[in-house]
Amino acid sequence: MRTRLKDVAELAGVSVKTVSNVVNNYVHVTPELRARVTAALDELGYRPNLSARNLRLGRSGMIALALPSVRGAYFSELAHLIVREAEQHELTVLIDCTYGDLEREKNVVESFRTHLIDGIILVPWQLGTADLRAREDTTPLVLLGERMAQSADSVAIDSRAAGQAATEHLLDIGRRRIGVIRNLPRNTGGVVSRNRLNGYKRALAAAGLEFEPELIAEVDFSHGKDARLATDRLLALPEPIDALFCFNDELAMAAMRRLHEQGYRVPDDIAVIGVDGIATGTAVTPTLSTIDPDKQAIAETAVRMLVERIEGSAETGPRRVKAGFTLVPRESTMGQQHTRRRRRTAKHVSGH
C-alpha cells in the first residue's frame, strides 16, 4: 500500500537520508547508489507524504484564493490567471468561495486551514477595516480591491479613474444624459462602487453637466432580474437617457438585453458601456464597450506580493499597488461601422 522512505531505504540497502537525497535531487550521491535507490523507488511506487514534509518544513506550497464566487466571468478569468501565476512560483491554489458572506470572510483571514496554507489572496466583499485591524492570524494576506488598503497589502485599479474614463467616453460620443447601474455597496465600505460613481460625477462636472441622482439605479447582484428592473426604472424617466454606464459587464449585458426587449437600439438610442473586460463581451451583438482592468497585472502583482511576504523579503508596512486598465470602445458605444473601420482602438491607463 503506502510505502515510506524507510521501506525504500531497506529495499535499496541504504539509509533513509540517502533516499531522501535522491528524492530531493541532491547532488552529492554516488551514481551507483542513485541508480539502486531509483530502482527501489519505483519498484515500490513511492509517493512522498507531503503532510509530513510540510510539517517538517513549516510551509506547504499552497495558497488560498478566496472570492465571492468562481461562477461569474470576471472572477473566473481572474482565478485562472492567479492559478497560472502561482504555478510559476510552484504554488498550488486552494479555492474558497465566500459568497460575500461576512462570517466566511472573517474565517478566511482568521482561521482558514491554519498552518496549511502559506498565504491568502482575498477579494473582500463585506469585510471592514476594523475586522482587518483586529486580525490575529499572521498568515500573509493580499487583498484584491481598493478597500482597507491601510491594513494589508492590496492591488486594484483606480476605480475613480475607471469611472471617469467610462463616462468621458460616453460624453466624447456626444451623450449627455447618462444613466448608471451600480452594484450596491454591501457594507459601509463599498469603496469600489462609490469611487466609480465619483469618477462619473467628476467627468460630468468637467463637462459642465449637473449630477442628477435620479439617473443612478442600484442593484444587489449582477443577476438578470435585478438588472432588468433597474433598466426599466431608468427607461421610465420623464426625460429619456441616451447612455448607460454599468458597473460591470454582466450587468451591462443584462441591460442591453432588456433594452432590446423594450425596443431600444444600442447604441443608436442608448449607448452602453461596462467594466471588467470579460471575454463574452466580444461575442455578443452589439459587442460590448468596456473598461478592461489589466487582470494579468493584478494576478502577477498579487502573487508576487504574497510570495514576498511569505519569504519575508517585503518591507514592513502595507503596500498598495494600482493596476492599469484600458478603455475598449466597441459597438455598444461606437456602432457597427466602428467594427469595419478600425479594428480596435484602446486607450491605456497604466498602473501607478
Query: Whose Cβ is closer to its own copies: residue 13's or residue 48's?
Result: 48
The verdict on 52 binding its own copies (CB under 8 A) reads: yes
Cα 239 to Cα 139, 168, 202: the distances in Å are: 53, 21, 22
Q: Considering only residues 29, 171, 209, 284, which one is a binding residue for its own copies as defined by CB under 8 A?
A: 284
Judged by beta carbon distances under 5 to 8 A according to partner kind, the member of DNA, its own copies, none in contact with residue 79 is: its own copies
Q: Considering only residues 137, 172, 214, 220, which one is a binding residue for its own copies as defined by CB under 8 A?
A: 137
Tell me the closest approach of the beta carbon of residue 44 to DNA, in angstroms: 11
Binding mask 20-59 for DNA (x = CB under 7 A): xx-xx--xxxx--x--------------xx--xx-xxxx-
Cα dihedral 30, 32, 38, 40 sign: negative
Cell numbers of 325, please?
486598465
Tell me the closest approach of the beta carbon of residue 27 to its own copies, in angstroms: 23
Cα 185 to Cα 99, 105, 307: the distances in Å are: 15, 16, 31
**Binding residues for DNA, total number by CB under 7 A:** 26
Tell me the closest approach of the beta carbon of residue 351 to DNA, in angstroms: 37
* 8 A C-beta contact, residue 141 and residue 123: no
List CB contacts of 25: < 8 A, sequence separation 6 or more: none
Q: 179 - beta bridge partners?
A: 244
The verdict on 250 binding its own copies (CB under 8 A) reads: yes
DSSP 153-172: EEEEE-HHHHHHHHHHHHHH
Judged by beta carbon distances under 5 to 8 A according to partner kind, the member of its own copies, DNA, none in contact with residue 254 is: its own copies
| Placement of cell 541532491 in the chain | 26
Residue 122's H or E segment, with its range, is: strand 119-122
> Amino acid letter at 180?
V
Tell me the closest approach of the beta carbon of residue 308 to DNA, in angstroms: 21
* 8 A C-beta contact, residue 184 and residue 218: yes
> Amino acid letter at 270?
I
Query: Whose Cβ is closer to DNA: residue 56's or residue 341's?
Result: 56
List CB contacts of 118: < 8 A, sequence separation 6 or more: 59, 60, 61, 62, 63, 91, 139, 140, 310
Query: Whose Cβ is closer to its own copies: residue 81's or residue 165's?
Result: 81
- What residues line the site for its own copies (CB under 8 A)? 1-2, 45, 47-52, 54-55, 60, 62, 69-73, 76-77, 79-80, 83-84, 87, 92-97, 111, 113-116, 136-138, 224, 250, 253-254, 256-257, 260-261, 279-280, 282-285, 287, 339
- What residues line the site for DNA (CB under 7 A)? 2, 4-6, 14-18, 20-21, 23-24, 27-30, 33, 48-49, 52-53, 55-58
